[in-house]
């Protein structure tokens, strides 16, 4: 009897669904940087303990870093083919915020219950303006993601919105997107130069009214284009996130970073991001390659690489492939510009990963490992905790005011979503290259999304689809 009473008094070792054992937890939000055991139950972090824990599944992490799962604000890869490469790069949440999607509800429905990673999108200004135009034959419903938005854009890129009725329809279309769960407005007006300064200003007024952020690919690679959106944000009070500041600033990067920092210090809600590569990528048929592109970009045919074949272009192949349409890589940035962006304390890391294609820009598969391996370990351009912050808590905080789910992401804390990435700081490395195309990164051991491993011991967990929608709260205010 006494023995039974004694046993009953013993605390039963709580059983967790998953335990990540013995790794060095690095949590930028709290500053925790120590060996801990992480217990997961019901998709949430239930324990961060200095004593070992029991779990149905145990992911070994001795000698590894246990970080919040990486949040990519700029991911055009919105399929499971693309998600698998992103997962092997430590990403747990991949969002289409730059160009956005045409129909938010359909996009969310299409991915719900069938996504490896958490997902979400803005309402695409480029598509909404096309849908607001009179006498435009709209394209057939397509993939429902950013690729489809570019379909609308390519049809109307030089067209200007004129009529008041068109602006009313534009506002109604974007507002419907906000109600359906959009994470703000995706604006990429370099791809639709028909959008006047008045139109852009009006969209900023709308976003300010809705208290929803704008994610902007600015009008051109220039300081002027940066000043347009900063002025519109200042005048309207809209929140602004400037995408890929590296490729839109080029040699003017130091000045642009100073502009953004000064605007922020004056109280503006303004943020920015960069990807760690000296080449950009886009569609060869886009306006980027309209007449005069060599002068604007400061490059020639040889700096262009055709994704389908990997070949560098000539005048002949440029003209041929531009008719064919497709992805092209542009080698035109200097290494010191990227160093500067990576070292800047307020520039987040975001991939601008392309829709899945075997030869796509390596940023689609290696962005986060490249920062941790090449920029932190090899070039010492920034510290490990700072780098982790730029890909976890900073993007989470960028969105949490309008997307409640993000309050529980980007953190290794009890109660947070169990989105966790375990990697080896000594060997983590991007393996995807411009020459050989997409490859899984090295040194990423385990990736857990909402408590479910999607990468375990470096291998894909086949069939795991724990990704959930991240939606804006406009409709539920
Ligand atoms: Zn862009």
pLDDT of residue 356: 87
Residue 18 has pLDDT above 90, yes or no: yes
* Alpha carbon of 402 to ligand 1 centroid (Å): 22
**What does the buried/exposed string (b/e) look like for 345-377 if buried means 16 or more CB atoms within 10 Å of the residue's CB?**
eebbbbbbbbbbbebbbbbbbbbbbbbbbbbbb
* Alpha carbon of 31 to ligand 1 centroid (Å): 32
pLDDT of residue 138: 78
pLDDT of residue 2: 57
Residue 405 has pLDDT above 80, yes or no: yes
pLDDT of residue 64: 98
pLDDT of residue 358: 83
Q: CB 72: neighbour CB atoms within 10 A?
A: 29
Residue 198 has pLDDT above 60, yes or no: yes
What value does the mean pLDDT take over residues 283-298?
A: 90
Per-residue pLDDT band for 387 (boundaries 50, 70, 90) equals very high
Residue 203 token pair: 């969209």
User: Minimum mean pLDDT among 243-257, 280-294, 389-403: which range?
Assistant: 280-294
Angle at 92 between CA 402 and CA 370, to 5 degrees: 110
**Dihedral over alpha carbons 229, 206, 394, 118 (to 10 degrees):** -130
Per-residue pLDDT band for 269 (boundaries 50, 70, 90) equals very high
Strand runs labelled E in 84-161: 91-101, 118-124
pLDDT of residue 4: 56
pLDDT of residue 296: 87
pLDDT one-digit tens code per residue, 130-160:
999 988 887 766 667 888 888 899 889 999 9
Q: Nearest CA to 419 among 19, 78, 9, 71?
A: 71
What value does the mean pLDDT take over residues 235-240?
A: 98
pLDDT of residue 224: 97
Q: 137 by DSSP, 3-state: which?
A: coil
pLDDT of residue 75: 97
Contact between 346 and 69 under an 8 Å Cβ cutoff? The reply is: no
pLDDT one-digit tens code per residue, 425-440:
999 999 999 999 999 9
Query: CB neighbours of 164 closer than 8 A, spacing ≥ 6?
Result: none
Residue 9 has pLDDT above 70, yes or no: no
* Alpha carbon of 44 to ligand 1 centroid (Å): 34
Distance from CA of residue 6 to its chain's centroid?
54
pLDDT of residue 232: 98
Between 381 and 142, the higher pLDDT residue: 381
* Alpha carbon of 124 to ligand 1 centroid (Å): 13
Residue 196 has pLDDT above 90, yes or no: yes
pLDDT of residue 416: 98
Determine which helix (DSSP H) or strand (DSSP E) holds 262, and give its type and residue range: helix 253-265
Share of the chain above pLDDT 90, in %: 87
* Alpha carbon of 474 to ligand 1 centroid (Å): 25
Residue 8 has pLDDT above 70, yes or no: no
Q: Nearest CA to 98 among 213, 235, 17?
A: 213
* Alpha carbon of 281 to ligand 1 centroid (Å): 8
Q: 47 by DSSP, 3-state: which?
A: strand
Q: How far apart are CA 402 and CA 404, in angstroms?
A: 6
* Alpha carbon of 56 to ligand 1 centroid (Å): 43
pLDDT of residue 12: 53
* Alpha carbon of 352 to ligand 1 centroid (Å): 7
* Alpha carbon of 30 to ligand 1 centroid (Å): 32
Give the chain's mean pLDDT.
95
Helices (H) and strands (E) in the chain, counts: 16, 20
Residue 267 has pLDDT above 60, yes or no: yes
* Alpha carbon of 51 to ligand 1 centroid (Å): 46
* Alpha carbon of 98 to ligand 1 centroid (Å): 7
* Alpha carbon of 229 to ligand 1 centroid (Å): 15
* Alpha carbon of 193 to ligand 1 centroid (Å): 14
* Alpha carbon of 164 to ligand 1 centroid (Å): 29
Q: DSSP for 71-83, please give it.
A: EESBB---SHHHH
pLDDT one-digit tens code per residue, 161-184:
989 999 999 999 999 999 999 999
pLDDT of residue 421: 98
Q: 171 by DSSP, 3-state: which?
A: helix
pLDDT of residue 245: 98
pLDDT of residue 134: 85
* Alpha carbon of 23 to ligand 1 centroid (Å): 36
Q: Nearest CA to 119 among 469, 463, 409?
A: 469
Share of the chain above pLDDT 70, in %: 96
* Alpha carbon of 319 to ligand 1 centroid (Å): 23
Between 466 and 5, the higher pLDDT residue: 466
Alpha helices in 347-474, H assignment, sequence order: 363-370, 384-390, 393-399
Kindly list the structural domains of the chain, giving each domain's residue range(s) and its CATH number in brackets, ordered by start.
2-67+437-460 (2.30.40.10), 69-403 (3.20.20.140)
Contact between 230 and 259 under an 8 Å Cβ cutoff? The reply is: yes
pLDDT one-digit tens code per residue, 328-357:
999 999 999 999 999 999 999 999 999 888
């Amino acid at each position: 009897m006494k023995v039974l009473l004694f046993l009953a008094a013993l605390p039963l070792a709580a059983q967790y669904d998953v335990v990540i054992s013995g790794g060095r937890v690095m949590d930028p939000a709290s500053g925790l940087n120590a060996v801990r055991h992480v217990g997961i139950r019901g998709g949430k972090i239930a324990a961060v303990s200095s004593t070992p824990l029991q779990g149905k599944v145990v992911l070994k992490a001795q000698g590894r870093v246990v970080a919040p799962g990486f949040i990519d604000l700029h991911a055009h890869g919105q399929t499971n083919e693309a998600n698998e490469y992103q997962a092997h790069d430590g990403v747990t949440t991949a969002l289409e915020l730059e160009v956005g999607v045409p129909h938010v509800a359909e996009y969310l429905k299409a991915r719900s219950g069938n996504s490896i990673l958490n997902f979400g999108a803005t309402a695409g200004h480029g598509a909404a303006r096309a849908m607001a135009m009179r006498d435009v034959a709209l394209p057939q419903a397509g993939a429902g993601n950013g690729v489809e938005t570019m379909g609308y854009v390519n049809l109307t890129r030089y067209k200007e919105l004129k009529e008041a009725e068109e602006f009313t329809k534009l506002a109604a279309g974007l507002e419907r997107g906000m109600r359906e769960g959009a994470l703000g407005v995706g604006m990429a007006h370099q791809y639709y130069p028909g959008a006047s300064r008045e139109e852009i200003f009006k969209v900023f007024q709308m976003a300010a009214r809705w208290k929803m952020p704008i994610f902007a690919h600015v009008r051109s690679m220039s300081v002027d284009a940066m000043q347009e959106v900063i002025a519109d944000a200042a005048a309207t009070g809209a929140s602004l996130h400037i995408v890929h500041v590296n490729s839109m600033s080029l040699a003017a990067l130091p000045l642009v970073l100073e502009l953004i920092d000064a605007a922020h210090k004056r109280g503006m809600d303004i943020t920015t991001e960069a990807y760690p590569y000296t080449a950009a990528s886009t569609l060869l048929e886009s306006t980027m390659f309209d007449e005069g592109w060599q002068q604007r970009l400061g490059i020639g045919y040889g700096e262009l690489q055709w994704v389908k074949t990997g070949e560098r272009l000539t005048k002949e192949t440029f003209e041929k492939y531009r008719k064919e349409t497709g992805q092209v890589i542009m080698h035109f940035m200097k290494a010191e510009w990227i160093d500067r962006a990576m070292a800047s304390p307020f520039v987040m890391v975001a991939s601008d990963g392309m829709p899945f294609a075997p030869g796509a820009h390596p940023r689609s598969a290696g962005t986060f490992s490249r920062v941790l391996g090449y920029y932190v370990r090899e070039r010492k351009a920034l510290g490990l905790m700072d780098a982790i912050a730029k890909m976890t808590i900073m993007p989470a905080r960028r969105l949490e005011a309008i997307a409640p789910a993000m309050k529980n992401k980007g953190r290794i804390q009890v109660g947070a979503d169990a989105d966790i990435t375990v990697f080896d700081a000594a060997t983590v490395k991007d393996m995807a290259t411009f020459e050989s195309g997409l490859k899984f990164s090295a040194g990423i051991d385990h990736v857990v999304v909402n408590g479910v491993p999607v990468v375990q011991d470096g291998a894909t967990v086949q069939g795991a689809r724990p990704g959930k929608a991240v939606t804006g709260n406009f409709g539920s205010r």
